[in-house]
């Protein structure tokens, strides 16, 4: 299913990655980011129930590369042993539907008396990527970023990587830099 694989395009293939990308982040106020300098990926799969039609090995690698790039730009170093934090991500695609038309306010149809406008059904795919940072010593989540957007097809692999990188950077822009008090 090429459409679905392209839709996610490595996490979030967004329409411009601008206002169409809804980002929500949360940080544990008790977290000591001053002591965080290193990270390691968790051993769990990137999503609890992985849809292999969407999350191909290429897409998973694209998302991971984008997350690694943002972490490096914020001063975090990937290590094999004794990390300060663990990193994981989850993703999904949901079909959305909206019905437009029919009767208007107060039960009156749109148009002349007796007229009932046809109902138009709009459908689209919404992609979600959730990135989590976990304190390795305590097993507690210290930061979480979620991005949601309408998905579209992008056929060019380089553009898919650029779109993914931009979306992941936007999701993670509020993550404190390594060693930040």
Which of 140, 133, 130, 147 has the alpha carbon at shortest distance from 180? 133
CB-based burial label for 158 (10 Å; 0-12, 13-18, 19+)? exposed
Alpha carbons 63 and 154: distance in angstroms, whole number: 16
Local confidence band at 14 (pLDDT 50, 70, 90 cut-offs): very low
178 is a domain residue: no
119 is a domain residue: yes
Residue with more model confidence, 160 or 151: 160
Report, as an integer, the average pLDDT of 2-16.
Answer: 37
Segment 91-129, tens digit of pLDDT: 877 776 777 766 555 555 555 555 566 777 777 677 788
Phi, psi of 155 (to 5 degrees): -85, -25
Write out the residue range of the structural domain in which residue 134 sits. Answer: 2-171
180 is a domain residue: no
Residue 15, pLDDT score: 36
The overall average pLDDT reported for the chain is 78
177, 27 Cβ separation under 8 angstroms: no
> What's the CATH number where 6 sits?
3.30.160
20 is a domain residue: yes
Segment 41-96, tens digit of pLDDT: 997 655 555 566 666 778 888 889 999 999 999 999 999 999 999 999 988 777 76
Local confidence band at 28 (pLDDT 50, 70, 90 cut-offs): very high
133 is a domain residue: yes
Q: How many domains does the chain have?
A: 1
179 is a domain residue: no
181 is a domain residue: no
Residue with more model confidence, 160 or 172: 172
DSSP letter for 22, please: E
177 is a domain residue: no
């Amino acid at each position: 299913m090429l459409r679905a694989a392209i839709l996610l395009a490595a996490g979030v293939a967004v329409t411009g990655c601008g206002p169409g990308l809804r980002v929500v982040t949360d940080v544990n106020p008790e977290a000591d980011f001053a002591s965080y300098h290193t990270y390691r990926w968790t051993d769990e799969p990137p999503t609890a129930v992985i849809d292999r039609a969407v999350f191909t090995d290429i897409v998973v690698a694209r998302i991971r590369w984008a997350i690694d790039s943002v972490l490096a730009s914020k001063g975090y170093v990937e290590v094999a042993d004794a990390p300060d934090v663990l990193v994981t991500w989850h993703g999904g695609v949901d079909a959305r539907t909206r019905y437009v038309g029919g009767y208007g306010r107060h039960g009156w149809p749109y148009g002349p008396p007796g007229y009932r406008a046809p109902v138009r059904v709009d459908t689209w795919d919404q992609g979600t990527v959730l990135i989590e940072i976990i304190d390795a010593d305590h097993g507690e989540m210290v930061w979480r970023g979620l991005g949601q957007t309408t998905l579209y097809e992008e056929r060019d692999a380089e553009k898919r990587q650029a779109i993914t990188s931009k979306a992941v950077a936007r999701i993670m822009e509020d993550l404190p830099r390594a060693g930040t008090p």
